[in-house]
Chains A and B, each alone.
Chain A
């Protein structure tokens, strides 16, 4: 138990450092799609909600969990969709790649 916790903290710390380094390199051009993309990725919380509803432990958890899946899924679908729509629009004036 104690060990798991320490591992989780290490994972969090490393992921935060990776996040800082990777995201610092994102061009300011793409900050809006970046935000909608991270939002879609963040909706991975849906897996927690799925396990909760699937286990069917109480009526409360099933009801709340179902709403949670709806909210997160709409972020996944909507987030990826709009990010791709935005990125498709970014074109360079230089020679198009083949």
Chain B
């Protein structure tokens, strides 16, 4: 009896070490796949160890659930790369659901026989878990465009939201002090479910990278809380790692937008939109055809392509790969400048471009690429807007003033592929489009890039 318990504990210990190694190997693309294998091995060990536990008297439902989970998990692992943000949000929801359900069961099984500390942690577990569950479902819905993407704001929204959360926390404190009052518990689970929905309503598409990271962090913390309740160090470590990861990513994202957490969560952007859009005036822009764009690109030595969410929407990544090939063949040095908040989740653009077989050493981060723009002949902006807006550097009155941007305006020529002159998600006019060295290429990203590639091809045969 004692011996097998020790074996189980050792599998957990090994799994914990493998989980840490798994994240360590993620530091570089060359070792990252080892990280996945280490994680898988750790997971298999931990689950196998758990199944040995003598406390398990009935395996039937466990087996059914494991099979069912696998059947659901496989299609979720096979989604298209453009659908990764909503898939990720959905998996945060599933993780949080698991934690909330286990927490709820534990509450009713243990009754009043728990310490105050355990009860507080248990309440924290279910509050974080259930708000992450509905919040992530809402985020997934917005990303999948089942729900409207634009932020919905109303007066007093923050007061309402915080009030709702405060009620849940207050009830939790009440149960901790008076453990007998189990009838309050359904509200401790239910009210955060409502808060999760309310929390995401004011969030727009451009804020999704921060919000997904934050939900990731909550999911991790709720799992760590579950680890405290169950006294499982493996779970505490895994939850802490996930929580730390989500927290670092959200810090990165909000730093990349020059906004505080509270600013993202409490949606100040919504109100500032009007002021930004009102400043718009009619100014001249220069546009160019695919033929002209191809001529300029083929005469260049250094080209930096700046992709944004518009590239993902247009599914233009494979055409961009063809452009990359055509230019590289002519001896043009092509690199990609990727802003941390380009796309709908951290690293989204890198995955899409890697999918199109663009080598990862050509994908450069904001800090790595910005020094290159003054020596760049052509900066080609595809489906990105706010992250290239020079007003962030120059205009203290702009809502995005202070946000770190890609300095494409320092390149000799700037070309912007865009459907029309409409402002970006934040509703802010972009002075970049009116600069003397800027050429607007109006059209769908995918077909316009395709046209440029064709022009480059036909010019090559002359």
Contacts and interface: CB of A to CB of B under 8 A. Distances in A.
A34 to B, nearest CB: 5
B297 to A, nearest CB: 19
A12 B61 contact: no
22 contacts: A18-B20, A29-B360, A30-B32, A32-B347, A35-B345, A35-B346, A37-B23, A41-B23, A44-B15, A44-B46, A44-B223, A48-B226, A56-B57, A66-B62, A68-B99, A76-B73, A78-B76, A86-B84, A87-B32, A90-B354, A92-B30, A92-B360
Contacts of A40: 39, 43
A83 B237 contact: no
A69 B105 CA distance: 13
Interface of B is mostly: helix
A19 B241 contact: yes
B50 A51 contact: yes
A24 B354 contact: no
Nearest to A7: B233
Interface centre among B19, B20, B226, B240 (most CB of A within 10 A): B240
> Could you say which interface size class chain A belongs to?
35 or more
B23 A54 contact: no
Interface of A is mostly: helix
B277 to A, nearest CB: 31
B99 A45 contact: yes
B91 A36 contact: yes
List 3 A-B pairs, minimum CB-CB distance, nearest first.
A73-B69, A81-B77, A77-B73
B363 interface: yes
A16 B240 contact: yes
Interface string B10-40: 0000010001101110111110110110011
Given A19-B244, A44-B234, A79-B91, A91 B354 contact: yes
B147 interface: no
B357 A55 contact: no
Interface of A: 1, 4-5, 7-8, 11-12, 15-16, 18-20, 22-58, 60-62, 64-94, 97
Nearest to A9: B228
B242 A42 contact: yes
Interface string B214-250: 0010011001101110111111111111111110110
A56 B97 CA distance: 20
Nearest to A62: B61
A52 B103 CA distance: 10
A23 B248 CA distance: 8
A48 B345 CA distance: 30
A86 to B, nearest CB: 5
Contacts of A64: 101-102, 104-105
B51 A86 contact: no
B443 interface: no
B149 to A, nearest CB: 20
B359 to A, nearest CB: 3
